[in-house]
Amino acid sequence: MNTDFIHWYGQAAFRIEDGKTQIFIDPFRLPDSIEIKADIILITHSHMDHFSPDDIEKIRTPETIIITTQDVAEKLKGNKGNTFTLKPDQKVESGKIKITAVPAYNIGKNFHPKSNDWVGYIIRLANGLTIYHTGDSDAIPEMKEIKTDIALFPVGGKYTMTAEEAASIVNEIKPKLAIPMHYGGIIGTNKDADNFKKLCSCPVIIKFPEK
């Protein structure tokens, strides 16, 4: 499967091209030279490596739609008229793009409590392809019910899943393709991504951060 339309900027930051529509997820440490503007920005939760106001301003226009959690929405500056808040299992549509918020939380550690209602997202593109961005999460029971074509999974450990935990749940939900994230910056190394690829039963594409 061609994944040239999926761009990774490191950590959990992605840009997804759906035709002319540009969808950013958790923009963080974007290149200062970036000229692409966002039609949609998805933010999973309020930790600084996922909610970065400076990076949002690099790509935001007055027409940009922001979809996020309540705590992030309260901290956003500027025009909030195009901001939508979602809790787990809530949905929103923008044109032919459908976005579903899904649970994201830790088990046995307190970095991302379930009670915060932080989220991951399932994005259904105009052509029907689905992409699941887990947000910052452990391998939680709700993941076993998710059906997706492409899965973006954290592999760095400590704050999220380890590579082994991520591969285990990926092998249960059986996407057509998986892409590792949340490593190589704040925590986790390229070895985690390599280990994830070895352990997954589906094809795995290891992206390199775009500069």
Q: Tell me what pLDDT residue 40 has.
A: 98
Residue 204 is given by DSSP the state B
Q: Tell me what pLDDT residue 205 has.
A: 98
Strand partners, 124: 98, 130
Q: Are 155 and 188 in contact (CB under 8 A)?
A: yes
pTM of the model: 0.95
Domains and CATH numbers, the chain: 6-199 (3.60.15.10)
Q: Tell me what pLDDT residue 195 has.
A: 96
Q: Tell me what pLDDT residue 58 has.
A: 95
Ranges of the chain with pLDDT below 70:
79-80
What the block records as the tokens of 173 is 């939900």
- pLDDT tens digits for range 97-125: 999 999 999 998 889 999 899 999 999 99
Cα separation, 85 vs 66, whole angstroms: 8
Residue 157 burial (CB count, 10 A): 18
Give CA angle at 169 (7, 3), nearest 5°.
Answer: 20
Q: DSSP 3-state assignment of 67? A: strand
Q: What are phi and psi of 95, to 5 degrees?
A: 60, -125
- pLDDT tens digits for range 67-92: 999 999 999 887 667 999 999 999 99
Q: Are 161 and 135 in contact (CB under 8 A)?
A: no
Q: Tell me what pLDDT residue 79 has.
A: 66
Cα separation, 65 vs 82, whole angstroms: 5
